[in-house]
Amino acid sequence: AQKVTQAQTEISVVEKEDVTLDCVYETRDTTYYLFWYKQPPSGELVFLIRRNSFDEQNEISGRYSWNFQKSTSSFNFTITASQVVDSAVYFCALSEAGFSGGYNKLIFGAGTRLAVHP
């Protein structure tokens, strides 16, 4: 069965600290996609990144970086030098490449609430 686990419910840091959000997934498929979404206080989920299962290269985008390790089924997200504007709920999600019931189902983790204090 597909599952996404975000063990950290809430994280609180002080501005400029680095913070890592953990994501562990389970799937039987060899082809799948992993996502991170950000949900700021406004409520709208914002797409951050998509990774396919064949691409284990780490990705860096400004202060954001992602570490994908198939050996440990993890897709962790690090924010370097955090800022108050990074305060949000972050969701990790998994999608398998095959069609299930007519579309690619997106399985979300429970989310991690990040609070960055000045």
**Residue 9 vs 71, nearer CB to another protein:** 9
Q: Minimum distance from CB of 7 to another protein (Å)?
A: 12
State the CB neighbour count (10 A cutoff) for residue 21.
Answer: 22
Stretch that binds another protein, among 20-28, 36-44, 64-72, 78-86 (CB under 8 A): 36-44
Which residues contact another protein (rule: CB under 8 A)? Answer: 4, 6, 9, 33, 35, 37, 42-47, 50, 91, 95, 97, 101-106, 108-111
